[in-house]
Amino acid sequence: MNIQDNRVVTIHYKLTDDEGTLLDSSEGQEPLTYLHGSQAIISGLEKALTGREEGDSFEVTVQPEEGYGEVNPEMIQTVPRAAFGGIENLVPGMPLQADDGNGNVYHVIVREVKDEEVTIDVNHPLAGKVLHFDVTVQSVREATPEELAHGHAH
């Protein structure tokens, strides 16, 4: 069975950046299972998987526009140090979760820490990166009616 919309696909993958640094991998973990066509994975990877069969292994390079987008400079902001009152030892590179007060949680990376100000980056950590995926298709099956109704794999 090949990969088409409304089929549930299980893959093992390895993700590296342009420098060959390993960013993510399913090796030694559960493989990734998703509903094809539901935009559960980035579009460049979904496109490359379309039509593949169980057992296929391939490599694909995904540009930022089909990955996690370009870095948006407006999403790098300076906020008063007091906003992080409860957090000791803020350091550049530190990941945080921020709450906008409306129930939305953002993943934030601390970029710069000064006495009075902290620069935070709300861009996705993989924004602006060219992504190299090494993928093996483990299985492909039809989605159940329940999975289609929910819009995700079970």
**Using CB under 5 A as the criterion, which residues of the chain lie in contact with Zn ion when the complex forms?**
150
Work out how close the CB of 149 gets to Zn ion at its nearest, in angstroms, rounded to a whole number.
8
Kindly tell me which of 37 and 128 has the beta carbon lying closer to Zn ion.
Answer: 37
Q: What is the DSSP string of 71-120?
A: --GGGEEEEEGGGGTT--S--TT-EEEEE-SSS-EEEEEEEEE-SSEEEE
Cβ 46 vs Cβ 5: under 8 Å: no
* Nearest residue relative to Zn ion (C-beta): 150
Minimum CB distance to Zn ion, residue 154 (Å)? 6
Return the number of the residue (41 or 94) whose C-beta is nearest Zn ion. Answer: 41
In order of 13, 22, 80, 143, the CA distances from 35 in angstroms are 16, 25, 42, 7
User: Cβ 43 to Zn ion, closest distance in Å?
Assistant: 22
Choice between 47 and 150, CB closer to Zn ion: 150
Closest to Zn ion by CB, 125 vs 151, is: 151
Q: How far is the CB of 153 from Zn ion (least distance, A)?
A: 8
For residue 69, count CB atoms less than 10 angstroms from its CB and return exposed for 0-12, middle for 13-18, buried for 19 or more: middle
